[in-house]
Amino acid sequence: MDSLLSILIWLPIFGAGAVLLIGNNRSQLARWVSAGISILVFLLSINLFFDFDSNTSSMQFVEKMSWISQFNIFYHLGIDGISMPLIILTTFSTILVIIAGWEVIKNRVADYMAAFLMMEGIIIGVFSAMDSMLYYVFWEASLIPMLLIIGVWGGQNRVYASIKFFLYTFLGSVFMLVSLIYMYNLGGSFAISDMHSLPLTLSQQSWIFWAFFLAFAVKVPMFPVHTWLPDAHVQAPTGGSVILAAIMLKMGGYGFFRFSLPITPDASSYFSFVVIVLSLIAIVYIGFVALVQKDMKKLIAYSSISHMGFVTLGVFALFSIMKMDSNGELISIAGASIESAYLGLEGAMIQMVSHGFISAAMFLVVGVLYDRLHSREISTYGGVVNSMPKFTGFAVLFAMANAGLPGTSGFVGEFMVILGALQANFWYAFLAAMTLIVGAAYTLWMVKRVFWGPIVNPDVKTLSDVNAREFGVLSILAVAVLWMGIYPQPVIEVMHISIANLLEQSLTTKIPAIL
Amino acid sequence: MMNFNFNVSELIFILPELFLLSAISFILLFDLFVSEKYKKYSYHLSQLALIITGFLAFNLIGESATIFSGTFVLDNLGSTFKVFVLGFSVIALVYSRQYLIVHELLRNEYFILALMSILGMMVMISGHSLLTLYLGLEIMSLSLYALIATARDRAFAIEAALKYFVLGAIASGLLLYGMSMIYGITGGLDIAQISNFASSSTLESQETLILNFGLVFLVIGVAFKLGAVPFHMWVPDVYQGSPTSVTMFLSTVPKIAAVALLVRLLIDGLGNFQQYWADLFMILAVLSIAVGSLVALTQVNIKRMLAYSTISHVGFVLLGFMTGVLEGYGSAVFYVLAYILMSLAAFGSIIALNRNGFEADQVSDFKGLSKHSPWFALIMLVVMLSMAGVPPFIGFYSKLFILQQVISEGYVILAVVAVIFAVISAYYYLQVIKTMYFDESDKEIIVSAPIDLKVVLSLNGILILIIGLMPSFWMNLSVSLF
């Protein structure tokens, strides 16, 4: 299929329109249609994986047509090994949230389902856009459904959370817009690949780097611009939290891969220390913040920030491992092997995918409890295992994955990043490895207080175990978490060549030679 | 002194204006002589007149002539502007009628005055001499003052009309003063003559000084008509006090005429002094964007909020003209057209909420709209996001094109300032969305608008999205005007 990517983008968006037309009064029909569309999109997106040629770093499934001719803006789509796994993660997660919201959402069902479908199409657009303006349009448009999801179906404080979410990310991205236009004026093209090869002086790169950094750091989110995330997560409905954590945060990480590193390699290298320090603060300090949370969703939100710190660490540790000598050969700094540079970048990618599964699972777990007792407070629960044994089995598995237990997906990405960081600097690795302790502490402590122990609250006794729908959703995620943990090789293979290409781009200076 | 040649064949070029004038006279008489039963048809006649005039103007696109001894010019820019003025007016009248019916303000003078002001705008758009421009401006303004005062039993409307009149008269005075300076030094009223004089290489420093002096007053006059800070004082009060239908009219089509005034006087006439007026525009633009974005934050009256939002939009338009390149002018025109499309839809939505004896003009009147009328809430959502500059709606592209020109002329800092204020202004647009979607309504909202309003409003909303997805054609059109 020549236009597979377009189908993946527009099918859910038009599908969302159809679901809106079905209307809130025929909610059962709306549910089935949405589920049908999301499953269809997922099945189509699987083709991306099987038809993907992992021996080339060039873009595949390319579509290109003129869009805004005055400014050389094209409707230009394509994917490589970096974006493909993220697209499949998106289509996968959307099925989960639609099924997870099945009977939980009673208010304005069709609108709810349509918002998620629209979100899906837009985010696939973000991951497949090859023209920076097209990318920016999708990037910003993704705010709209999320704003409504948090604001309409959210909790008590939803208005504050949704507007804070919107303004924070909007502010971050307008500077990216300015720098994209700036580069267009230098190079005469909005194509991302042209920006990759655009020569820029260090000072130009620095400005662009920080503009991008603001946009992506807010999205990831990195310390200290992370404060919108706990608010948004706590107030969002379960499905909103899942999409936010599983996919929207990845848009930030993807931005670093697609924009920051290749477009501003020298500035990225120059400022890599700052980013690494911020990542380490996120990993360690936010981990401790998570430890003291009383609200389960807040705890998982902080744990998300901490885990996303590994992504940025893995990406920017690169510059302490490798550099390019004057002959254009990659050489290592301080005796590190080339493999360790790959480890950092690929670990970051694996961590993004794995975090997509684990955080989705963790939020769904909290959602299951919340649907029953309408409380996210840890202190409400205790002894849940007595009334919900099957559910507890899943919850403990996901908690272990969150803590980075070997054999689960959480281990693979973190371990790769830590190994990579070890080659860069012992202390990076040491601090990052702290998360294995802190992460285990906050996750297991939460498990202990919620699931084990005596039943304090009489309501907990009356809890019914997971129904078939919840069981299905959680088992799919359990399979995904274990599969990524035991056999991540297919995902790594798919991205390897693209990562190699990115590595080379990031280490090639773009500063024009002074004659 | 002035050799006035009159050639009957030239009349063909002012056919749209002639037709509209005759139509106005006819409707005026029609209203006088028909019985009460048929009076309601003057609305339909007015719409018909606008549509026919629009076709006549459309037919003249491509023709180019300077007639009546250089006082009247017909060019692509003029014809296209006229088509847009007439087209947008048709939409505005559809919305207006509903408001007038609901509030028992429906009198036929309303339509006649509106048509008269449109005629003024058309004269202004084609004016090629200081006198014609001023003539058009006054025809337009006087009709607008009277239009506001048609709600004669409302104290706020009378206050608004008086305020607009007094301040408008001062602005006209300043403009005239500037024109007299220009006339005094160049010895001509014709824009071409002024342009020739201003671009001659033998300009003495004293002559430059006086031209500059006149220029400042011209800029003030234009800034007043556009409502740019610090000449914006009338905008919030007039917007709030006028009947909503008049506010809508005021905030939309006259902006095209004001842009035409700017083009004729400053670009065609004093294009050689671009660097001087560009500096003034820069100050006006930054102030407008800042004041418009900040002051709107605290407004609870949606008309007043939209007034400040207009001010900040005007700032963006001026940024486009400031660049001094053709693409910049084109972007500014695109911005104006996009803004008018959005503004019409915003006021159309407000009017749709008005019902017998209930004046919907508070943001809180939108409470819970998404529940009772999801479609209109969705349109308002699109309009608000578009005004905030969120893609994929037209408002984003209009900002994008302006920013692109501003940055390509080297004003990166200016672009950064503009986007920061755009983010700030997003807050109050979000407030409207919040009110519609997140707040529970305490009372039932009934959108009891007639079918024609519903259809036009829906199309209006859809256009905001469609042009957003395919802005290329409109951008081409806007740039090709210069």
For residues B447-463, average pLDDT? 88
DSSP lists the bridge partners of residue B358 as: B355
B480–A contact, CB cutoff 8 A: no
Q: Which amino acid is at A102?
A: W
- Using the 3D structure, point to which of A228, A244, A260 is the last residue of a domain: A244
CA A496 from chain centre, in angstroms, equals 19
Contact A264, A208 (CB under 8 A): yes
Helices B76-102/B41-59 angle, 10° precision: 170
Percent of chain B with pLDDT over 90: 55
Q: Do A214 and A300 lie in a common domain?
A: no
Question: Is the pLDDT reported for residue B2 higher than 70?
Answer: no
Contact check, Cβ <8 Å, B391/A140:
yes
Helices B451-469/B76-102 angle, 10° precision: 140
Q: Which residues contact B343 (CB under 8 A, 6 or more apart)?
A: B248, B251, B252, B306, B310
Contact check, Cβ <8 Å, B420/A147:
no
Q: What whole-number distance in Å separates Cα of residue A96 and Cα of residue A481?
A: 14
Chain A residues close to B401, C-beta within 8 Å:
71
For residues A103-112, average pLDDT? 85
Give residue-wise pLDDT tens across range B300-349: 999 999 999 999 999 999 999 999 888 899 999 999 999 999 999 999 99
Chain A residues close to B397, C-beta within 8 Å:
68
What pLDDT score does A223 carry? 84
pTM confidence score: 0.91
The DSSP string of A39-79 is HHHHHHHHHHHHT--TT--S-EEEEEEEEEGGGTEEEEEEE
Contact check, Cβ <8 Å, A177/B403:
yes
Contact check, Cβ <8 Å, B434/A159:
yes
Q: Do A451 and A380 lie in a common domain?
A: yes
A25–B contact, CB cutoff 8 A: no
pLDDT interval class at B42 (50, 70, 90): confident
Chain A residues close to B385, C-beta within 8 Å:
144
A21–B contact, CB cutoff 8 A: no
Chain B residues close to A177, C-beta within 8 Å:
400, 403, 419
- Structural domain count, chain A: 2
Closest approach of chain B CAs to the CA of A143, in angstroms? 9
Question: Is the pLDDT reported for residue B19 higher than 90?
Answer: yes
Q: Do A342 and A386 lie in a common domain?
A: yes
Give residue-wise pLDDT tens across range B380-437: 999 999 999 888 899 999 999 999 999 998 899 999 999 999 999 999 999 999 988 8
Q: Do A491 and A425 lie in a common domain?
A: yes
B400–A contact, CB cutoff 8 A: yes
3-state SS class at A148: helix
What pLDDT score does B40 carry? 83
What pLDDT score does B361 carry? 84
Chain B residues close to A167, C-beta within 8 Å:
423, 426-427, 430
Give residue-wise pLDDT tens across range B426-441: 999 999 999 888 888 7
Q: Identify the H or E element spanning B8.
A: none
Nearest residue to B359 via CA among B368, B369, B351, B367: B351
Could you say which of A66, A148, A178 has the minimum Cβ distance to residue B419?
A178
pLDDT interval class at B357 (50, 70, 90): confident
Nearest residue to B398 via CA among B339, B459, B341: B339
Distances (CA, A) of A423 to A14, A266, A289, A337, A351: 48, 21, 28, 8, 19
Question: Is the pLDDT reported for residue A130 higher than 80?
Answer: yes
Burial group, residue A476, by CB count within 10 angstroms (0-12, 13-18, 19+) = middle
In sign, the C-alpha dihedral spanning B413, B418, B421, B426 is negative
B475–A contact, CB cutoff 8 A: yes
Question: Is the pLDDT reported for residue A60 higher than 70?
Answer: yes
Q: Do A323 and A188 lie in a common domain?
A: no
CA B107 from chain centre, in angstroms, equals 24
For residues B153-176, average pLDDT? 91
Contact B208, B56 (CB under 8 A): no
For residues B288-300, average pLDDT? 91
Contact check, Cβ <8 Å, B407/A181:
yes
CA angle B406, B407, B408 (to 5 degrees): 95
Mutate to test the interface with A, among B316, B433, B473 (most CBs of A within 10 A): B433
Contact check, Cβ <8 Å, B426/A133:
no
CA of A107: which chain B residue's CA is closest? B371
Q: What whole-number distance in Å separates Cα of residue B54 and Cα of residue B16?
A: 7
Could you say which of B401, B426, B437 has the minimum Cβ distance to residue A170?
B426
Percent of chain A with pLDDT over 70: 97
pLDDT interval class at B477 (50, 70, 90): confident
Contact check, Cβ <8 Å, B385/A144:
yes
Q: What whole-number distance in Å separates Cα of residue A33 and Cα of residue A30?
A: 5
Give residue-wise pLDDT tens across range B126-147: 999 999 999 999 999 999 999 9
Q: Which residues contact A405 (CB under 8 A, 6 or more apart)?
A: A411
Give residue-wise pLDDT tens across range A139-184: 999 999 999 999 888 888 888 989 999 998 999 889 999 999 999 9
Q: Do A36 and A154 lie in a common domain?
A: yes
Question: Is the pLDDT reported for residue B280 higher than 80?
Answer: yes
Contact check, Cβ <8 Å, B427/A171:
no
Does a structural domain hold residue A514?
no
Contact A424, A321 (CB under 8 A): yes
Q: Do A292 and A228 lie in a common domain?
A: no
Q: What whole-number distance in Å separates Cα of residue B57 and Cα of residue B80?
A: 8
What pLDDT score does A129 carry? 92
A171–B contact, CB cutoff 8 A: yes
Tokens of A187: 């190079």
Tokens of B128: 């090629």
In sign, the C-alpha dihedral spanning B348, B353, B354, B359 is negative
Question: Is the pLDDT reported for residue B4 higher than 80?
Answer: no
- The neighbour count for residue A274, using CB atoms within 10 Å, is 12
Q: Do A362 and A483 lie in a common domain?
A: yes
B434–A contact, CB cutoff 8 A: yes
DSSP lists the bridge partners of residue A66 as: A74
Contact check, Cβ <8 Å, A147/B426:
no
Q: What is the DSSP letter of A414?
A: H
Tokens of A405: 């237990």
Q: What whole-number distance in Å separates Cα of residue A98 and Cα of residue B350?
A: 35
Q: What whole-number distance in Å separates Cα of residue A325 and Cα of residue A332?
A: 9
Q: What is the dihedral of CA A290, A481, A106, A20, to 10 degrees?
A: 110
DSSP lists the bridge partners of residue A181 as: none
Give residue-wise pLDDT tens across range A418-434: 888 888 788 888 888 88
Give residue-wise pLDDT tens across range A491-510: 888 888 888 888 888 888 87
CA of B431: which chain A residue's CA is closest? A163
Percent of chain A with pLDDT over 90: 22
What pLDDT score does B1 carry? 45
Contact B400, B474 (CB under 8 A): no
Nearest residue to B252 via CA among B336, B137, B169: B336
What pLDDT score does B34 carry? 86
pLDDT interval class at B105 (50, 70, 90): confident
Does a structural domain hold residue A261?
no
Contact A407, A385 (CB under 8 A): no
CA distance from start to end of chain A: 49
CA angle B242, B243, B248 (to 5 degrees): 85
Q: What whole-number distance in Å separates Cα of residue B308 and Cα of residue B291?
A: 8
Chain A residues close to B405, C-beta within 8 Å:
none
What pLDDT score does B3 carry? 59
A70–B contact, CB cutoff 8 A: yes
Does a structural domain hold residue A257?
no
A163–B contact, CB cutoff 8 A: yes
Mean pLDDT is highest, among A224-228, B366-370, B371-375, for: A224-228
CA A428 from chain centre, in angstroms, equals 23
Domain residue spans of chain B:
11-480
For residues B264-284, average pLDDT? 89
Tokens of A410: 């959480």
Tokens of A65: 């047509």
Nearest residue to B366 via CA among B316, B303, B314: B303
Contact A86, A491 (CB under 8 A): no
Does a structural domain hold residue A258?
no
Question: Is the pLDDT reported for residue A136 higher than 90?
Answer: yes
Contact check, Cβ <8 Å, A144/B420:
no
Q: What whole-number distance in Å separates Cα of residue B186 and Cα of residue B329?
A: 26
Q: Which three-class secondary structure string do you get for A435-470? A: HHHHHHHHHHHHHHHHHCCCCCCHHHHCCCCCCHHH
Contact B66, B470 (CB under 8 A): no
Contact B125, B82 (CB under 8 A): yes
What pLDDT score does A209 carry? 93
CA angle B399, B405, B410 (to 5 degrees): 125
Q: Do A361 and A425 lie in a common domain?
A: yes
Burial group, residue A187, by CB count within 10 angstroms (0-12, 13-18, 19+) = middle
Mean pLDDT is highest, among A114-123, A327-336, A372-381, A464-473, for: A114-123
* Mean pLDDT across chain B: 89
Please, where are the H alpha helices in B367-446? 369-372, 374-388, 394-408, 412-437
Could you say which of A141, A162, A177 has the minimum Cβ distance to residue B419?
A177
The tokens 């449109």 sit on which residue? Answer: B118
A206–B contact, CB cutoff 8 A: no
* Mean pLDDT across chain A: 87
pLDDT interval class at A415 (50, 70, 90): confident
Could you say which of A67, A144, A181 has the minimum Cβ distance to residue B403?
A181
Question: Is the pLDDT reported for residue A447 higher than 50?
Answer: yes
Task: Respond yes or no on whether ipTM tops 0.95.
Answer: no
Closest approach of chain A CAs to the CA of B285, in angstroms? 18
Q: What is the DSSP letter of B267?
A: I
Half-sphere exposure of residue A155, counting CA atoms within 13 Å on the CB side? Answer: 21
CA angle B293, B295, B301 (to 5 degrees): 105
- Supply the range of the domain harboring residue A280: 271-509
Interface size, chain A vs chain B, as Cβ–Cβ contacts under 8 Å: 87
For residues B90-94, average pLDDT? 93
Closest approach of chain B CAs to the CA of A9, in angstroms? 14
Chain B residues close to A162, C-beta within 8 Å:
434, 438
Contact A145, A20 (CB under 8 A): no
What pLDDT score does A463 carry? 81
For residues A109-118, average pLDDT? 90
B415–A contact, CB cutoff 8 A: yes
